[in-house]
Amino acid sequence: MNIDNIEAFVYINHYGSFNKAADVLFLSQPTVTVRIQSLERELNCQLFERVGKQITLTDRGRQFLPYAQQILETYQKGRQRILSQSAMPEELRIGSTVSVSNYLMAPILVHLTKRFPHITFNLTTGPTQVLVDKLKVKEIDLAFVRKMVNPAVNAYCFLDDPINLYVYADHPLAKAGRSSIRSISNETLVFFECGSLDWERIHRVFDSMEHPPKIKFAVDNSETAKKLILSKAGIAFLPATCAEKEVKEGKLVRVEIAETADVSLQTYIISTDSSHSNVIEALLELKTDWYE
């Protein structure tokens, strides 16, 4: 059975006219007629009948229509998939912030490898602005970065990672699991600073306190922050993804603070054009609640 004949049948039914279907398919009206006649010979039945100036389906045509539509849709999807994969590069250069590289990149790459087994992946880790600059000069193809506004790039929200207070297992706040910001005013704080505006919101909460907590350690690496907590040197606000492993092991405990409940660290996928739209689409399918 010829797919062109099925296509002509579906289009004629949709537009209600041989002429209109021919225009849309960029064919002559006699060519469309020949295709329908060929299909009718294959099926050994008449598919259309003319009622006045109107073209309508026969009973057999109505019976065949849903199957023809399904065949055409399946063919078009398969063709699009083959064409899109043939246009994919052999190598994909991905940029990533340190935290995404440490805690999310492994499952991301596993997912991409399953979807695009013919592609090899090259990962570059760096701060958001460095990655944006590399993207602009096409040293990388796409990047995972912190929330940003830049008209030169296309941005897609990938992960909204809540920031919570984390304490060591036998800390007095661990048992309750929730508290208010006032309860940490006398605590020694490890502050993991990653340059995001969301972290500034926590600073503003501290500024509003009569007795803000003492920031004893200011670090730019989440692993250092976690080790200080585990050493009982202090407590810290951290993104959920970076503390997931230690929480599951019972080494760290998440404490919900009402005043910072809506603060999160947002990760975006950025690109400069649509040449890797298939990859971005696959990544957005993976978008999930990593910290559950």
The pLDDT value given to residue 41:
93
Residue 264 pLDDT more than 60? yes
The pLDDT value given to residue 84:
58
C-alpha Rg value of the chain to the nearest Å: 29
The pLDDT value given to residue 83:
59
Which residues belong to CATH 1.10.10.10 in the chain? 3-86
Alpha carbons 271 and 192: distance in angstroms, whole number: 28
Both structure tokens of 83: 């064409």
Closest CA to 123 of 102, 146, 137: 102
The pLDDT value given to residue 186:
85
Residue range 159-265 forms a domain whose CATH class is alpha beta
The pLDDT value given to residue 291:
42
End-to-end Cα spacing for the chain: 50
Distance of CA 140 to the CA centre of its chain: 18
Average pLDDT (165-173) is 93
User: What pLDDT digit, counting tens, does each position of 22-68 carry?
Assistant: 988 888 999 999 999 999 999 999 999 988 778 999 999 999 999 99
Burial label, 103 (beta-carbon count in 10 A; 0-12, 13-18, 19+): buried
pLDDT band at 231 (very low <50, low <70, confident <90, very high): very high
The three-point CA angle 102-96-244 to 5° equals: 30
The pLDDT value given to residue 255:
93
- With tokens 């990962």, the residue in question is 123
The pLDDT value given to residue 73:
87
> DSSP characters for 108-158?
HHHHHHHH-TT-EEEEEE--HHHHHHHHHTTSSSEEEEES---TTSEEEEE
Task: Return the percentage of the chain with pLDDT > 90, whole number.
Answer: 45
Average pLDDT (226-250) is 93
User: What pLDDT digit, counting tens, does each position of 191-211 carry?
Assistant: 887 655 567 778 788 888 888
Where is pLDDT greater, at 165 or 207? 165
The pLDDT value given to residue 81:
66
Alpha carbons 289 and 292: distance in angstroms, whole number: 6
Task: Return the percentage of the chain with pLDDT > 70, whole number.
Answer: 92
Residues 6+ apart with CB under 8 A from 11: 21, 24, 25
- With tokens 């200080």, the residue in question is 228
Which residues belong to CATH 3.40.190.10 in the chain? 91-158+267-286, 159-265
67-100 CB burial, b ≥16 within 10 A, e <16: ebeebbeeeeeeeeeeeeeeeeeeebbbbbbbbb
Both structure tokens of 152: 């030169």
18-27, 75-84, 114-123, 154-163: least confident range: 75-84
User: What pLDDT digit, counting tens, does each position of 273-286 carry?
Assistant: 877 888 888 888 87
Specify the DSSP class assigned to residue 212. P
What does pTM read for this prediction? 0.63
List, in sequence order, the alpha helices (H) in the chain. Answer: 3-15, 18-24, 29-43, 59-86, 98-103, 105-115, 128-136, 197-207, 222-230, 240-248, 277-286
Residue range 91-158+267-286 forms a domain whose CATH class is alpha beta
Average pLDDT taken over every residue of the chain: 87
Both structure tokens of 27: 């064919």
> Fold for domain 3-86?
Arc Repressor Mutant, subunit A (1.10.10)
pLDDT band at 289 (very low <50, low <70, confident <90, very high): very low
Residue 85 pLDDT more than 60? no
Containing 16, the helix (H) or strand (E) segment is none
Where is pLDDT greater, at 220 or 288? 220
